[in-house]
Structure 1
C-alpha cells in the first residue's frame, strides 16, 4: 500500500455560515469513519488559518542563524486548510478517496503520493 496526502485547498475569506459548517463537519466525520472502516485511515486534521503560521528559515552565518517570520511566507487566494493521509492500493483508489473528501469538505482536494 502507498500513502497519499489529501490536501484540502481552502479559499481565503469568510467561513460558511454555522449551519453549513455543522453539515460539513458531520460529512467530514462520516468520511473519516469510512476511511477507518476501510483500513485506509492514517491521519487527518484541520489547520488554523495562514495568519497563525510562523515560517522558520535558515539564514546567514553558514546556516547557523535561523530566522522566524510571523504569518505565511506568500500571499495567496487559497491556503492549506487541512490534510488527510490515506493508504491506498494505487492512484485510482487514492483519487476515489479524494473525491469523497472533496464532497465532504465542499472544497478542492489535491491528491499526492508520498515518496518511497
Structure 2
C-alpha cells in the first residue's frame, strides 16, 4: 500500500508545475512553426486545466497568438516606398533562318539559328 503513495512534492509538481511546463512547450512549438497543431493542443490543455491558477494568463496568451493586434500587422509589412524604375535595354530579336538541306541529305527542312 505504501508503494502507491507519492510524496506531497510530487503531487504538487504534477498539479502545478507540469501544466506550466506543457504550456511553455506548446508556446515554443507555436513559435517554431507548427501554429495550427500547437494552438489546437493549447486549447485542449486550457480546457483540461481551466481551474489552474495560470489559466487566465494562458487564455490571454492564446488569444493574442491567434488574433494579434492590428499594430503588429502594420509593423510586419511596412508600406513600400516607390523607388526609381530600372531601365531595361531591349534585347535584339533573333530571327530564325530557314534553309533547305543539301541534296546529299534529304531529311527535310530545318531551322538554323544564328550564333551571334
TM-score range, shorter chain: under 0.3
- TM-score normalised by structure 1 residue count: 0.26
Structure with greater strand share of residues? 1
The alignment's TM-score, normalised by the length of structure 2, stands at 0.26
